[in-house]
Amino acid sequence: MSLPPLILIPGLLNDAELWRDQVAALSDVADCRVADITRDDSLEAMARNVLAEAPERFALAGFSLGGYVAVEIARIAPERVDRLALLDTSISADTPERATARSALNKAARAPGKFHGFGDRLLKTYLADSHLEDEAIISRIRGMTERLGPDVFVRQNSVVRKDGAGVLRALRCPILVLAGESDAITPFRDHEAMAVIARGRLVSIPDAGHMTPIENPAAVSAALREWLDPGEQRQAALAGSGRASVGSEAPSAPLCRAPANGHAAVRGPISDMSAYPPLPECAAPPLTRNRIGF
């Protein structure tokens, strides 16, 4: 029997290397496919190209800029998205100030000389403190930067980020919202708000900043596995398997179902959401405007 398809969308200046560990870890439960969003200069174009190469229905996970693309896919073709995972991302639209800052970064990227991409100063905002001297992690990030180069950076950095709150409110599928506990680029408090809006499951990844799939790949893979197959995790817990937690579901995070009907909204079999416990009604905390760099 064929495995269900999982489309993984990288972030800004990321390629398939970002998802290397997740592809390996999830190969027994999903047909993992890494999308290419390096060729287009708008969210809609990126989304439509991913859809053109995708099967009729699929699970969808987006990291950072890839999260914006994933939400755009759900905006265009919600009936094709079986479940959605948003990792270290945002659903806030660009502000004029943010657009101006992006323009300045693009100008710097086009300047003569070597394109450094993730320099030491920028890396400090992307990684948890414990990984600032980790050469294995740093070399993977810089390797992606060198392969993709300034043209891809300018093209992706110029993409207008759209507000995605309405899309998440309308979706009727299991949604995972995940972020590193030390993410300085897209703060965890913004993911708390996203989880409320989406009526989704919120997971905090320990010992990780923004680059969670590389900084703590085992925890990210475990969270994605549970999202893909919650029944497996539930059975393992009942059997007392001792499987490690994916990290922590932050107790301060207000994980809520939609107040309108008191139920988690579901498209398809109710079992899709059966591992997600009853959650209280509550209002979403305000989203902050995240920093430049994704």
Higher per-residue pLDDT: 100 or 69: 69
Model confidence over 145-197: pLDDT tens digits?
999 999 999 999 999 999 999 999 999 999 999 999 999 999 999 999 999 99
The answer, yes or no, to whether residue 134 has pLDDT greater than 90, is yes
232 falls in which pLDDT band (50, 70, 90)? low
Q: What is the mean pLDDT of the chain?
A: 82
Give me the DSSP letters along the chain: -PPPEEEEE--TT--GGGGHHHHHHTTTT-EEEE---SS-SSHHHHHHHHHHHS-SSEEEEEETHHHHHHHHHHHH-GGGEEEEEEES---PPPPHHHHHHHHHHHHHHHSSS---SS-HHHHHHHS-GGGTT-HHHHHHHHHHHHHHHHHHHHHHHTSPPPP-HHHHHH--S-EEEEEETT-SSS-HHHHHHHHHHHT-EEEEESS-SS-HHHHSHHHHHHHHHHHH-HHHHHHHHHTT--PPPSSB--TTS-----TTTSS---SS-GGGGTTS------PPPPPP-PPS--
User: Rounded to an integer, what distance in angstroms lies between the CA atom of residue 39 and that of residue 190?
Assistant: 29
The boundaries of the domain holding residue 255 are: 1-294
pLDDT score of 118: 64
What percent of the chain clears pLDDT 90, i.e. is strictly above it?
67
33 falls in which pLDDT band (50, 70, 90)? very high
pLDDT score of 116: 64
How many domains in the chain? 1
The CATH number of the domain where 114 resides is what?
Answer: 3.40.50.1820
Using alpha carbons, select from 36, 38, 47 the residue that is nearest to residue 152: 38
Count CB neighbours of 93 within 10 A: 15
Report, as an integer, the average pLDDT of 48-60: 98
Task: Kindly report the pTM of this predicted structure.
Answer: 0.81
